[in-house]
Amino acid sequence: MLCDLSGGGAERLVLGLCAAGLVDQEVATVQPGGALRAAFEAAGVRVHEGTRRPGRVGLASFAGLARLCRAFDLVHTHLFAGDTWGRPAARLAGRPSVSTEHNVNRDEQARHRAVKRALAPLSNRVAYVSEACRRYAVDVEGIAHPGAVVIPNGVDLGRFRLGSGGAAGPGTRLLAVGRDVPQKGFDVLLRSLPPGSTLRIAGRSQRRGVEHVGGATVEWLGERDDVPALLADTDILVVPSRWEGFGLAAVEGMAAGVPVVASNVDGLPEVLGDVGVLVPPEDATALRAALVRLRDDPEERAQRGARGRHRSALFSLDVCAQRYRSLYADVLAAGSR
C-alpha cells in the first residue's frame, strides 16, 4: 500500500518488485493519481486507487482500505500515508502487515513522528532500506521495532548498459536524478559546477529548459523514464543530497558503470562502499574539487565505473525480492503458530 503512484524511489521499488513477480500481489493507494499507474498496469498488476484527498481525514477511504485488506494474506505498507492508513486498516481486517521505511526524513514534522511512533507496533515487521535508516529510527524517531530488519533496495540491473565514458576535459557530462527539493541538494551542485561542464537534471521540477551557471550549462529535463539511456551518455553521476535513506540513483549509476560522486550522508556510504567519491554535504568547494579530479583523470573514472558495476550486483532486484519473500514467509508462518 502506497500514498499514490508518483515516481519516487519507493514507488519505483514497488513497481520493480511487482514486475519481478515477487508474489501474487496487487497494489492499493491511499490517494488517487500518480504517473506510474500505467506502468503498474502494463506489468499486469491490478491497482486499487484510494479516494482520500490531501488534508482530509478520509474515514470512508480508510473503511474501503480495511475491506480491501481482508482479501489478502498480508499487507505491505510504504511511506507515511501508506503506513498511517495501511497499518490500522490491516489490523482492523485481521491481517498481518509489513512496513518498509525508505528515508531518514530529516525534515519531518514532530506530529508526523508522533504518529509513526504510535502506529509502528501495528506492523508485524519493519524493513529499513539501510542501516542508517534503522539507526535514525531508533536514535531520532524513538522507534525500536523488535521485528526490524535491513533490506537494501533493488534495481533491475538488466536495464542498464555501460556508459560511453566520454573524453576527459572541460566538456564533462554530469547527470543528477531526483526531485528538485531541498533534500536533493541541487542548489549546492549548481554552485559547484566546473566551467565548461554540462549538467542534466532528471526529475520533477518547476524548472525546465536550459540555463547557464558560472560557465556551465544546466539542462532541466523534468521527469524521465529513460534514466538508463541518460546514464549511457554520462561521464559522472552526482548525488549531492543533504540526507538520503538509500540512494537508488547511485545504484543505477553503478549499474551503468558510471563513476558516482555523492554526499557522505546516511545510506549513501553503505550503497557506494569504496567505489564512489564521497564529499561532505553542503560543501560546494569539496564537490567541485571531486568533479574536477574525476574530469581530469579518465583512468580513475574508468576504474571506479568498473568497480561500481561489479558492486551493483549486491543491489539486484532479484536479491531484494528474495529477501522480501523470506520476510513474508516468516510473518505468515509466525501467524499460523
Report pLDDT digits (tens) over 88-139.
999 999 999 999 999 998 888 889 899 999 999 999 999 999 999 999 999 9
pLDDT band for position 57 (50/70/90)?
Answer: low
Give me the pLDDT at residue 68, please.
Answer: 95
What is the pTM assigned to this prediction? 0.91
User: At what angle are helices 284-295 and 298-311 packed, to 10 degrees?
Assistant: 100
Dihedral (Cα; 294, 298, 299, 302), 10-degree rounding: 90
Position 178 pLDDT exceeds 70: yes
User: Could you tell me the three cell numbers for 71?
Assistant: 482479501
Strand spans (E) along the chain:
27-28, 47-48, 75-78, 97-101, 125-128, 148-150, 173-177, 198-202, 209-213, 216-222, 236-239, 260-263, 277-279
Report pLDDT digits (tens) over 133-174.
999 999 999 999 999 999 999 999 999 987 644 444 446 899
Position 22 pLDDT exceeds 80: no
Which residue type sits at 331? Answer: V
Position 37 pLDDT exceeds 60: yes
Domains of the chain plus CATH, in order, are 9-154+317-336 (3.40.50.2000), 157-315 (3.40.50.2000)
Write the burial class of residue 185 (CB in 10 Å: 0-12 exposed, 13-18 middle, 19+ buried): buried
Pairing of the two strands 216-222 and 209-213 = antiparallel
Distances (CA, A) of 239 to 13, 65, 99, 138, 140: 18, 36, 26, 26, 24
Q: Are 239 and 247 in contact (CB under 8 A)?
A: yes
